[in-house]
Structure 1
Amino acid sequence: MSSLRVHSAQHTVPVAAPAGVVYGLLADAPRWPVLLAPFVHVERVDFDGARENLRLWHLRHGQVCATLAHRTLRPRERRVEFELHDVLLPGVPTSGFWDVEPDGADRCLLTLRHERPAGPFETPEALGTDVRTELVALREAAERWDRLDELLLSFEDSVYVCGSPEIVYDFLYRIEDWVELLPDVEWAEVTEDRPGVQATVLHTCDPETGRTLVSEAVRLCFPAAGRIVHKETVPPDPAAAHYGEWYLEPDETGVRVVSAHQVMLRESTVEAVLGGGARPVDARRYVREWLGRSSTEALNLARWHAENAVRRLR
């Protein structure tokens, strides 16, 4: 009987941020989609203060992978232990830990170790690449720690629809039709190789600057829950990351439709987009207005479709 091969990888990087800040980012997994580039969506299933179960969707070699994670948080040791189960490879878990070691008042050493049974085409080099990618993403987020309040913004827009949640959801799902319906959408391409997992490319026009904004995104569609989450893989400047969600809240007479956004700004592009002397506060205002306008147009059109369908049935 042949023994199961196990690939392991461990890397340590210095981080110019306090150890407590870095551990806090590790522990707060639901915020990862806006902080860490590889992660598309994270849901906390349950949490007792020390142990938690998560559902993770992340990008690996350009593909969306779904994972179940069991984590144990050890704040005293600043360590997070985990076991990951790939949804497509049941019974083949990845285990490991994150470890944060102080290296002075405002610096630390961050270590990530993975151990995974080897797949038929998997190499230690590939696993090492995955580890380094996650480390670099976390380090980049952590080293903005003293400016995160300025660079991160979250907001939402909503409408109430006196109509069918199913019609509203169908409109939000069929994003390829928006080019015919929304004035700012110039071109749209949607690929759905797996049900409910969409890769999109949108060209939209910014009416204030006249420039065409190109965004590439992954969308995860959950029709039973009335939710569509989306993460831009190539967000237009001045956004460094953009994660959002459409969700429906039905009641006895209709449905509240919400568009929620979380955005991380890219400081180095603020002046290039908004002109010399522009500051992050100007970029916050610009992004809020630009995304809010697009969201509101889509929400209002979704309401029009649903409420007109109700009138046609009467």
Structure 2
Amino acid sequence: MPESAVQKTEHEIITSAPPDAVYAALADAPAWPTVFPPTVHVDQVERTAAAERIRIWATANGALRGWTSRREFDEAGKRIRFRQEVSAHPVAAMGGEWTLEAAGPGRTRVRLTHDFRAVEDTAATLDWIHRAVDRNSTAELAALRSAVERPDGSGPTGFEDTVHVKGNAGDVYDFLYRSHLWAERLDHVARITVEENEPGLQHMEMDTRTADGSVHTTASVRICLPEDRIVYKQLRTPPLLSLHLGRWTIRENGEGVDVTSSHTVSIVRSAIPGVLGDQATEQDARDFVRGALGRNSLLTLNAAKEYAEARSDGRS
């Protein structure tokens, strides 16, 4: 079968941030989920001063995909080249380059180019890839500008809760992984639907009961990495948040395991008065979010603890 034709795209923005600041944001791949909306998780496989290999999971046209890329750094020339080593269907091969150029005092022109081949040169396949590249590139450039300029909202903040479980890591992971059963197992979950078209890649929609009895709906994508991590990103955030990342981590500790629920969030400052009142501060908003997310996390952690310890004791 002949190789498909190479397709090329180019997108650019100008940002009121200096090239060094923009380059630093682009070079820090593990932090991309806090910067780029399509990026859900990045594992840094290898890293040297000149290059790295990373495993990336991101959404494309609503679908969650994972691939491995190699990146080459030219800090002096303010360029970062990337090439996918293992692409996700229907992409056969993809690469490109970030190029930064000074655009006046404290300003940077950011150019993002892609070249790719499709598994099949059909109109539908090429259209799907072009739409995915265009949508993600546009979103990434806008998010990059927002991150380096910070026109509204603060930088991300994080917090976590941990419980010790006198049970097996596999049982804890099973409870967290089988989230389609949470409506039966967790009182604060009113409804949940989970789609898993590829093993370990889940789309979740959940109705959660809050402390005041109201119900709100969230939609997330989850990456399940047996048997010690599940990471997720909220696709639709409430007005108070521009970002919500989460992670469940399971670590051996003595005769059991420590299970941690971690959250990374960004507060939208302009939304604080409408949600919490005119006198509320950013710290009030952080405390509010910490309380709401922490409450539900601890409910889930304690339910996972009860489940795993019951199985360890032979009670279920």
TM-score by length of 2: 0.90
How many angstroms apart in 2 are the aligned matches of 1:93 and 1:21? 30
Query: Are 1:214 and 1:235, in contact at CA under 8 Å, matched by a contact in 2?
Result: no
Describe the shift of the 1:91–1:177 C-alpha distance in structure 2 as closer, same or farther (beyond 3 A). Answer: closer
Q: CA contact under 8 A between 2:16 and 2:149: conserved in structure 1?
A: yes
Shift of 1:252: 4.7
Name the structure 2 match of 1:173.
Answer: 177
Q: 1:13 to 1:300 in 2, by over 3 A?
A: same
Q: CA deviation at 1:109?
A: 1.0
1:135 is matched with which residue?
141
Per-residue Cα deviation, 1:173-229 (whole angstroms, up to 9, x for no partner): 122222233232222111112221111111112215x54222100011122x42111
CA contact (8 A) 1:44 1:52 kept: yes
Q: SS at 2:37's partner residue?
A: coil
Q: Which amino acid aligns with 1:30?
A: P
Pair 1:24-2:24 in alignment: yes
Can you list the C-alpha shifts for 1:224-258, whole angstroms capped at 9, x where unaligned? x4211111111223111111111111245111111
1:308 counterpart residue number: 310
Asked if the contact 2:36/2:139 (under 8 Å) is kept, the reply is no
Q: Which one is further off, 269-278 or 237-246?
A: 269-278
Contact 1:151–1:280 (CA<8 Å) still a contact in 2?
A: no
| C-alpha spacing 1:204/1:3, structure 2 compared with 1 (3 Å) | closer
1:239 is aligned, of 238, 241, 256, to 241
Q: Distance in 1 between matches of 2:159 and 2:279?
A: 25
Take 2:144 and 2:130, find their aligned partners in 1: how far apart are those partners? 20
Tell me: CA distance 1:72–1:182, structure 2 relative to 1, closer, same or farther (3 Å): same
**Partner letter of residue 311 of structure 1?**
D
- Superposed displacement of residue 89, structure 1: 4.6
State the shift of 1:125 in Å: 4.8
Secondary structure of 1:244's aligned partner: strand
What is the distance in 2 between the residues matched to 1:130 and 1:76? 27
Kept in 1: contact 2:17–2:106 (CA 8 A) = yes
- Deviation, structure 1 residue 104: 3.3
Contact kept? 1:35, 1:264, Cα under 8 Å = no
| C-alpha contact 2:244 2:266 (8 A) present in aligned 1 | yes
Q: Alignment partner of 1:92: what SS?
A: strand
3-state SS of 2:314 partner: helix
Aligned partners of 1:54 and 1:99: how far apart in 2? Answer: 19
Shift of the 48–275 alpha-carbon distance from structure 1 to 2, 3 Å rule, reads same
Alignment of 1:108-147 (within 5 A): 108-118=108-118, 119-120=120-121, 121-123=125-127, 125-126=130-131, 127-144=133-150
* Structure 1 residues 1-314: aligned runs within 5 Å: 4-89=4-89, 92-118=92-118, 119-120=120-121, 121-123=125-127, 125-126=130-131, 127-144=133-150, 150-208=154-212, 210-223=213-226, 225-312=227-314
**Would the aligned equivalents of 1:85 and 1:91 in 2 still touch at CA under 8 Å?**
no
Distance change in 2, residues 1:128/1:308 (3 Å)? closer
* Separation in 1, partners of 2:139, 2:86: 18
Letter of the 1:186 partner, please give it: A
What code does the residue aligned with 1:99 have? T
More deviation in 33-42 or 125-134? 125-134
Q: Deviations over 1:37-80 (max 9, x none)?
A: 00111110010122100000111100011111100122222211
TM-score, normalised relative to structure 1: 0.90
CA–CA distance in structure 2, aligned partners of residues 88 and 103 of structure 1? 35
Structure 1 residue identity aligned to 2:195:
T
CA–CA distance in 1 between the matches of 2:155 and 2:225? Answer: 30
1:296 aligned counterpart, secondary structure? helix
How far is the alpha carbon of 1:86 from its aligned partner?
4.4
Q: Which runs of 5+ in 1 are unaligned?
A: none
